[in-house]
Chain A
Amino acid sequence: MNCRDFNNVVNELADGRLMEAAAREAGLGHASECVDCAAQLMDARGTSAALHIAARADVEEAPARVKETLLNAFAERLRESMEQPAPVAERPPVVVELPARRALRRWDAATVAAAAAVLLILGSAYLLRESRRASQPSQMEAALPAPAVSPENVVGPETPDKNKGASVPTIPQDASTNAAANPPIKRTTPLAHKAPRVENVAAKLKSETAARNSAGSMRKGAGSNGGEYLPLTYLAGATAMESGTVVRVEMSRAALISLGVPLSAERTDETFKADVVIGDDGVARAIRLVGND
């Protein structure tokens, strides 16, 4: 053992702590041969003895007032804990199923968003429909009183006479007939002479009220060039008719009455000439009387 190794074990040697017997013998042997290490061992033993004396003398304790204070504090704390209500963990939970609430919130948000989207779509559709409705009467009014193609021109050589025989109907019939209910129409002009197409003619012509109001003018105007057209059909969604054909026909009074033309029920076998507006789908849309022979 050299001095450095001895320095590592000198305190254990001085304190008499448990250590390997071989290391102890080596250390003591080195101290017996090395004067410096022997002096170091003597100092270490003196320090160890002094520390031992100091440890034996170390018998102080905390003052009694510390214990009294602590015991009072413990009793006070114990009393407070007994006076307090049940611990929070034992209380019934105030808020439960937080995940469900969150899910509900998410569901609510999704529902609101979907409802908003549906409302937006419906609102847009409604506005679009209203805008179309607002634009259709003007088209109809522009087309019906003065069609782009006059029925007289369509008929050609056949010139309508004044509708002298047509009596004034008192109560117009229901004009809401469809194509299937329409009676057969006797054509006065061959199909080969079909009139040119009428562009941008409104499909939704006029309501029944308008027809009633226009009954007088229809009768008056039916003398030569005919009066106003009376709508025959009210097809849902058929609010616009881009093109159509005006066909002059000859119909009995009864047939006209069944179509809603305001005529009296006298002489039901009497025939009248009329212009019928037929859409591209083949459905008669409107009719007006022309001058009768």
Chain B
Amino acid sequence: MRVVVAALLLSGLLVSGAAGQSTTYHPTVYAAASLTDAFPKIAPRARFSFAGSDTLAAQIRQGAPAGVFASANTRLPLGLYRDHFCSKPVVFTRNALVLIVPASNPARIHGVYDLRRSGIKLVIAAQSVPVGAYTRQVLKNLKLSGVLRNVVSQESDVREVLAKVALGQADAGFVYSTDSRTVAGKVKTIRLPARAQPNVQYGICVVSASGHKAAAHAFVKNVLGARGQRILRRYGFLPRVEPKH
């Protein structure tokens, strides 16, 4: 056993030697896939791991070396907080869902009700992924849960839904409005009725096991600050507090 541990230490040494030592510490941020474009603009030197929020939460529960967890819902970070894996989450931005179709629109879908036609290849995210849960909520709000029978694939994060529609492989998919903007020209965006919109709130927290809490806290402060919020807004995210009607 001792020799195995020694070998692990040796491989660790080799890897850290190869990576080079830096004097200032940059936070490791585990963030929802929808933040792929915006977050590096807020902190270019931070290290990011973008994936489905549910996958990231599962990795943090298994001891992943995350400093910050930014989720596309509040349920996952609240769950981590309850189990003492992270600090109390705060809402840092909001988003909205849209329906997208490939630019060539092979199935001629012009509204969400067209999804009822049989034979349509609809791609959504899995139930455990925040956007997957929101998608089911939208369909429920519109009394369209029946279109779930047209689902041909359940993806593990929102960007995989986006990729499959942008490629023309799928006829339609549900993503955040911020995602559809990243592939302008490849997809057509169809807005959803306001009454169908779920309350998409993004929660952020500092991971308890993080070795460098100061850097993690600084990142969260940046995201909540005026500059961070301005960058998020530029990428189409909504203000973190819903404006009063």
- Are the chains A and B members of one assembly? no
